[in-house]
Structure 1
Amino acid sequence: MDKFIQLFSSYKTSIVLLLVYAAILAAATFIEKFVGTVAAKMLVYYSPLFIFLQLLLVLNFIIILIENRFLHKRRGSLLTIHTAFIVILSGALTTHLFGKEGTVHIREGETSSRMVMHTSKGTVYETLPFSLELTDFRLVYYPGSQSPSSYESDLRLHLGDESREAQIYMNKVLDVKGYRFFQASYDKDEKGTVLSVNYDRAGRTITYTGYFLLLCGFILLFTDRNSRLRRLSRQLKELRLSGKLLPAILLVSSCALPVVARNASGNRLFDVVNDNAIPSEHAAKFGRLPVQWQGRIVPMNTLSSEILRKLYKAERIGTLDSDQFLLSVLALPQMWMQIPFIVYSNNDMAREYGLSEDAFSYGEAFDDEGRYKFAAALQEAFATPPAQRDKYDKDLIKADEKVNTLYQLFHHTLPAVFPPHAGTQHQWYSPGGDLSAFSGEDSLFVSTVFDEYLSEVRLSVKSGNWQKADAHLASIADYQQKKDIVSQIRPEKIQAEVRYNRLHIFQTCKKGYLILGGLLLLLSLTSFFYRWKYFTLMEKSLFLGMVAVFAYHVYGMALRWYISGYAPWSNSYETMVYVSWATVLAGLILGRKNSIILSLAVLFAGMILFVSGLQWMDPQITPLVPVLKSPWLMFHVAVIASAYGFFGFGFLLGTATISWMAFGKKEASVERRIRELTLMNQLSLLTGLALMTIGIFLGAVWANESWGRYWGWDPKETWALIVMVAYAVVTHLHLVKRWNNAWLFNLCSVFAFTTVLMTFLGVNYLLSGMHSYGHTEGAPRIFGYILLFYGFVSVLGVVSFRKRRASF
């Protein structure tokens, strides 16, 4: 028994169990990828061995708390946090053993009291102590799109002799006698609803108690004088006061990503385009015209920007901006049919269909008899299941989407510029679409005004007089305002979006971060060899510049929030922008007294913004899918993304420290520098771990309020848990005497960041799951650079280990 207590009171046992736990979780996500979700749950998540492993972790936590007398040592934060995990896992076990989860399917006008549950023993049916009648189901779309905005079920509850009305939609739960109903799905004919059902009173109470204890524990972590975070802060302060520390000499390697610029002006056909260019002044007025696009009312400038990026993968084409391009395409279609600007990258397609290299024209997609060249191959591609499509199929489908976009522009089924005078969906109409809903003067106006406007544009291009074109454009804008009976047009938001598109805020921040961070790093390294009296002034100036860029970054996020109406971290692009912001924030908080660390944090933020601006990242503002319409989204993603920022800062600190160990001399000043960087890294990772843990459990609350379950073992959820476990291991290495050294901690802080990269990028590309709204299709393009960097870090780790072997 003594040996058992000794074994399970060991921190080394904790770390080993956590590593095994993380490895099993990672393996399970790949099992799900190749074998299926049910197999992953049966083989891993719900298996007796996995449950036993979690029980061992709980037992380990309890014995450590007792044996190390945390309560008597006044270690309130650690005691509360570890107790919270014990309670949360106990709640999960209670839910697993006693909770019920199933579905209820009801058609309109029908009544049901049967819940269907799928268990390891098969399908089980249970009769509810009441019945539900579906009086109406509604699938509400975003205006002018096929994207669902909401699923809504109107119900009549029959509880014995009592009946009452109720409504369920995504993120609105119905509670009846302990049973919680959630809007899960619906029938294809939109005449039936599928409700998920959860019965888990005891498990929910225990789990929420654990969440409350966890919140209290992390509050104590930041406020209790005896907490590790506060002690590390005091040690860092004392170290800085002990003497003036010299800046570190770092090996900074940069990889220049190849950027291929297409020189449109080199093609003789583009000379014709430039000769017939529409003045930017008139194009800007055209760009401010409201249109309906993918469920939002946006300025024409937003539509033109997205179409140009889609077709040409650039912000400009030759000398034309996006508004000039779109208006020119609408007014001069015959000219644009001959211009090779539909970008693609498949040489097999070029050979198969005789397309121009790199970019083909609309006309090249058709043969001499006007037949669509891609038709036969497209039928085969679409008949192939998405998971089995090869690169050729995917590239062909993308090329077809681009050709179809141009077809809609040439035939004026894009853009939708005319507001409806009636209709529950508030769908706008395009000049080339079905305009039969209009009558009288409205019908005459909408059927002629756009063609007349484009005719005036063509005449103005030749004459240079744009008064009549301006007048026609103004008449369209006036008509929109008069017929906007449901107030969809918000002029202030239209102006804000035009300003947002024009400013390219995050591209400017990227340049500012890279330039200022690079200058500060160069200045800091130079000051190691030569101290000039103006260095301090220059450092302060660069610091103020960084603060100014950071403020501009905040302005950009706030402007995007105002335009979209929701917190700007709902997809991969927005999350990268937010993580960049959090990285700079971490640098300003923890590295403000260390110019090198601050410069690295700012450079890293610039690199993140650089990646977010690559062609495969979509900066488009889109309506939220129904499940994301929850206040929990804002808190959950904001907290987790902030954690990524602190983990990224720790990644930089770890790399800097390992570099210093590898190439620095063994002197007192060097040891102080390593100690300072290590303390800063520990503070950063502890802060990140606290935020990550809180964010995960905020996500669990969100899942419970949206789907009726805390955890579904979705790959994204699972890898977020792996991130938490990985950093829990790194921040607890100091508890094992043999592993308590700066080299191992900093090296592990660098490699732990791979779990963040896997969660943010790898899951979306290598795995699959319900978090598909954050998909990053082009992520493989940077995987090679990531592997190259970690190969370099591995070599750096070996060099630094050999150099410092004698010190531990």
Structure 2
Amino acid sequence: MLIYSFGLATATIVEKQLGTQAAKMLIYYSPLFILLQLLLAINFLIILFNSNYIKSKRWGLIIIHLSLTVILGGALTTFLFGKEGQVHIREGEKSDQMVMHTSKGVKTEKLPFVLELKDFRLNRYPGSNSPSSYESTLLVYVDNDIREVSVFMNNVLDLKGYRFFQASYDKDELGTVLSVNKDVAGRTITYTGYILLLIGFILMFLMPGSRFRKLGEQLKDIRARADKLTLVFLLSLISLNGFSQNNWNETKHTIDIIESIKDNAIPVEHAEKFGALPVQFRGRVMPLNTFSSEILRKIHNETNIYNLNSDQFLLSLLVNPEKWSHAKIISGDQSYLSYNQFFDEGGSYSLLNQLQQIYNQPADKRNESEKDLIKLDEKVNILYQLFTHIIPGIFPHAEDPSHTWYNLGDNLSVYEFKDSVFITDSFNNYLAEVRLSLQSNDWSKPDEILNSIKEYQLSNDKASLIRPDKIEAELKYNRLNIFNYSKLGYFILGGLLLILAFIRLMNRKTWLQYASTILIIGIAAIFIYHLFGMGMRWYISGYAPWSNSYETMVYVAWATVLAGFIFGRKNILTLSLATLFGGVILFVSSLNWMDPQINTLVPVLNSPWLMFHVAVIVAAYGFFGISFLLGLTNIIIMSFNKDSSLIALRIKELSVINNMSLLTGLALMTIGTFLGAVWANESWGRYWGWDPKETWALITIIVYSVVTHLHLVKKWNSDWLFNFTSVLGFSSVLMTYLGVNYFLSGMHSYGQTDTSSSVFVYIAIVFTIIVILGFLSYNRRSKFIDS
């Protein structure tokens, strides 16, 4: 299994350097690799009969491993007998040819029917160029009959054993590309394997005599014995260092501008009304408060500036563009820059030549400094669009078929004369009245104009894009700042519970039990508040809130605390560590390189499979995180504690909980990965494409399978090795979730982040310390063997 995982990891590097086809030929589909998979299956079958698992009725274990053998058999059947290709058709044309790319070159196969493309439609999100779906209407000539069918993302055409999926389209939107798959036998065998796998995992958790149930019984016995002993722990003082923000030197001119901006700050009350105005941006209608928050975070990497909130900032910028163009608000590499610094006296853009050179080379060849320059250009461009009133879209066009909203800087000739006059006058008058109100402090006139703009929006919103209930919910969501408060709550209550957990190991006084209960109730309240925040985000966006890296991290934090509650019943140390880890994950999600904005979904993600696949697989990360913390705790105790005779049982207790958590995480990870395979097969006709994200998910399954099977080898059956490998195994999770996006490339772009390389430096430092602790604890491991 280790050789297999090493081969998979090597293949992802080969793919990065030489391409997907080279990785498939050299490793994935090589005879040696296929032989290795066959040996794994044969090895299990031999062990199955030699170890009398059938006589001992270990049905969960038997079915899980048999299912994996069946899945491998299905994959082999697909590889040997399955067919995969493409059909390209232009509107009004017919085709009965499937083009297949094989190791021997390109070949075509005649289909037993004819397809004609009647119409192709590319639907976009309102007011944007982002596709929401694409659909082909086909006429099928088969068996002396003509049928009209539609093929679109997540809607498959099944015909005589062939399955057609919407894969792509021509740039002029007059042609379609359909992927074709014929694999009846392979699909039947593989799906049978998936069903058996699910049944096996259910039996593993429920059947008496299963390893999971035996671990539970073992845990009860250990706790009963441990309660009779007085355990003494050395408590370590953990201090949290706050972060300090670097200040920058500013010229006298800039200081004067800042003071002027502060003196003319928009009152919070009116800014709040301004922030409630619905606007259209990136294909979504949102309150202007959301837009202003995203823009300020994008430009300045902060949620406020000069003591102004995002709504005050945006309205002030629109009212006083000259002052803001001189203010240093654009976050650069080491300092803040002003908009005017990017233009010379003649108005020429200073980054133009460099950007032209960068865009003339492939995206994967750009270095970090060039990528940073592109981001800097994007910030300057956003300010330009704000100064020229291009974004956001404020005024709906009642007759626009794409439901686009316009702003003052757009071409208003698309409107009737009276509408274009209203748009120009209302917006300019509003800004003028705001300037006057800053002097008079009477905001009745700007309020009145805002109301007239809202009335215009409602009367011209023929597509009913304005949902007052969702606008209000989003404003509330922004105002509550749920995940930030959840983060603070997890840190405070988790830290206090951790201290009490250590004290309770030394002392069993009643007041400690009551204090722990109060803290647990508090953590439960924050946990529900965290869940409420995810529910609000789901309601606002209309889809499950785990479609990008920010959302999945928020979900992982929640799943980690959930895992803590599940196993915290057995030991409050587990819950305290899980709670702290949930706070750490939420802290990472709030860093500048994470984007918390709510986006529209790309077509392939607009599927119910997103909810199930991602929810299950990311929940597994939470249980792996619990095991990481428990394993690390045991390694630290082994490294520094001297009273080994008294603490051995406590190490054993945490080790058993660690094992149960790992088995739960492994079950979820395996089920979630194969749910993804079903999603892929139902959406574009293949279970597995050896995409780096998929491959590393499989590597993670194998790594944790190795960790949970170490006890089968007598000389490796030790608490030290199990805990140490459970800690090291978490590196495969980090690689799957973060490293693939940064070091490799693949199709799972929806999960990618602009991850800073410094994050991996910190991760490397942490694991270096862990390895050192591993050596320290290795030398003392014999003192903690529970006799």
1:397 corresponds to 2:380: no
SS in 2 for 1:267: helix
RMSD, aligned CA: 1.7
Distance across 2 between alignment mates of 1:288 and 1:761: 36
* Offset at residue 442 of structure 1 (A): 2.2
Match of 2:267 in 1: 279
Distance across 2 between alignment mates of 1:762 and 1:221: 32
* Offset at residue 482 of structure 1 (A): 1.4
Match of 2:577 in 1: 600
The 5-angstrom pairing of residues 279-678 of structure 1 reads 279-345=267-333, 358-527=335-504, 534-678=511-655
Match of 2:181 in 1: 198
Q: Is the 8 A contact 1:264 1:317 kept in 2?
A: no
**AA partner of residue 321 (structure 2):** P
* Offset at residue 66 of structure 1 (A): 1.7
Distance across 1 between alignment mates of 2:692 and 2:380: 35
* Greater CA drift, 289-298 or 660-669: 660-669
Distance across 1 between alignment mates of 2:695 and 2:552: 19
**AA partner of residue 516 (structure 1):** L
Q: Is the 8 A contact 1:263 1:318 kept in 2?
A: no
* Offset at residue 243 of structure 1 (A): 4.1
Match of 1:208 in 2: 191
1:60 corresponds to 2:43: yes
SS in 1 for 2:526: helix
Match of 1:227 in 2: 210
Distance across 2 between alignment mates of 1:263 and 1:523: 42
Distance across 2 between alignment mates of 1:532 and 1:212: 50
Distance across 2 between alignment mates of 1:169 and 1:125: 24
Match of 2:70 in 1: 87
1:739 corresponds to 2:722: no
CA deviations on 1:519-550 (whole Å, 9 max, x unpaired) are 22223334556676632222222111111111
**AA partner of residue 148 (structure 1):** P
SS in 1 for 2:485: helix
Distance across 2 between alignment mates of 1:247 and 1:581: 32
CA deviations on 1:750-773 (whole Å, 9 max, x unpaired) are 000000000000000000000011
Distance across 2 between alignment mates of 1:412 and 1:559: 31
> Kindly, what percent of the aligned residue pairs are identical?
57
Distance across 2 between alignment mates of 1:160 and 1:528: 77
Normalising by the residue count of structure 1, what TM-score does the alignment of the two structures yield? Answer: 0.94
Match of 1:8 in 2: none
The 5-angstrom pairing of residues 786-797 of structure 1 reads 786-797=763-774
Match of 1:28 in 2: 11
CA deviations on 1:174-214 (whole Å, 9 max, x unpaired) are 00000000011111111111100000000000000001111
Q: 1:200 to 1:253 in 2, by over 3 A?
A: farther
CA deviations on 1:436-468 (whole Å, 9 max, x unpaired) are 221143232123211111111111111111000
Q: Is the 8 A contact 2:550 2:595 kept in 1?
A: yes
Q: Is the 8 A contact 2:648 2:784 kept in 1?
A: no
Match of 2:26 in 1: 43
* Greater CA drift, 259-268 or 521-530: 259-268
Name which of 233, 236, 241 aligns with 2:224: 241
Name which of 60, 83, 87 aligns with 1:104: 87
**AA partner of residue 650 (structure 1):** S
Match of 1:260 in 2: 245
Matched residues, number: 780
* Offset at residue 390 of structure 1 (A): 2.5
**AA partner of residue 467 (structure 1):** S
Name which of 117, 124, 130 aligns with 1:147: 130
CA deviations on 1:713-739 (whole Å, 9 max, x unpaired) are 000000000000000010011111111
1:777 corresponds to 2:754: yes
Distance across 2 between alignment mates of 1:327 and 1:758: 42
Q: Is the 8 A contact 1:116 1:124 kept in 2?
A: yes
SS in 1 for 2:378: helix
**AA partner of residue 506 (structure 1):** F
Gaps of 5+ in 2: none
Distance across 2 between alignment mates of 1:578 and 1:373: 42
**AA partner of residue 767 (structure 1):** L
Distance across 2 between alignment mates of 1:392 and 1:784: 18
Q: Is the 8 A contact 2:644 2:784 kept in 1?
A: no
**AA partner of residue 121 (structure 2):** R
* Offset at residue 778 of structure 1 (A): 2.0
Q: Is the 8 A contact 1:145 1:294 kept in 2?
A: yes
* Greater CA drift, 682-691 or 158-167: 158-167
* Offset at residue 226 of structure 1 (A): 1.4
Q: 1:218 to 1:312 in 2, by over 3 A?
A: same
Q: Is the 8 A contact 2:281 2:391 kept in 1?
A: no
SS in 1 for 2:326: coil
Distance across 2 between alignment mates of 1:668 and 1:217: 39
* Greater CA drift, 715-724 or 431-440: 431-440
Distance across 1 between alignment mates of 2:157 and 2:242: 52
SS in 2 for 1:291: strand
Match of 1:709 in 2: 686
Distance across 2 between alignment mates of 1:76 and 1:396: 59
1:19 corresponds to 2:7: no
SS in 2 for 1:127: strand
Distance across 1 between alignment mates of 2:235 and 2:26: 47
Distance across 1 between alignment mates of 2:49 and 2:235: 45
Q: Is the 8 A contact 1:651 1:750 kept in 2?
A: yes
* Offset at residue 34 of structure 1 (A): 0.8
Match of 1:5 in 2: none
SS in 2 for 1:535: helix
Match of 1:10 in 2: none
**AA partner of residue 111 (structure 2):** L
Distance across 2 between alignment mates of 1:421 and 1:97: 56
**AA partner of residue 216 (structure 1):** I
Distance across 2 between alignment mates of 1:255 and 1:388: 40
**AA partner of residue 260 (structure 1):** Q
**AA partner of residue 755 (structure 1):** S
Distance across 2 between alignment mates of 1:588 and 1:155: 52
Match of 1:78 in 2: 61
Distance across 2 between alignment mates of 1:705 and 1:444: 51
* Offset at residue 379 of structure 1 (A): 1.3
Q: Is the 8 A contact 2:181 2:686 kept in 1?
A: yes
Normalising by the residue count of structure 2, what TM-score does the alignment of the two structures yield? Answer: 0.97
CA deviations on 1:661-697 (whole Å, 9 max, x unpaired) are 1222344431110110010000000000011110011
Q: Is the 8 A contact 1:196 1:708 kept in 2?
A: yes
Match of 1:700 in 2: 677
Distance across 2 between alignment mates of 1:469 and 1:684: 58
Q: 1:75 to 1:527 in 2, by over 3 A?
A: closer
* Offset at residue 805 of structure 1 (A): 3.5
CA deviations on 1:70-111 (whole Å, 9 max, x unpaired) are 211110100110110111000000000000000000011100
Q: Is the 8 A contact 1:134 1:156 kept in 2?
A: yes
Match of 1:14 in 2: none
* Offset at residue 254 of structure 1 (A): 6.8
Match of 1:724 in 2: 701
SS in 1 for 2:642: coil
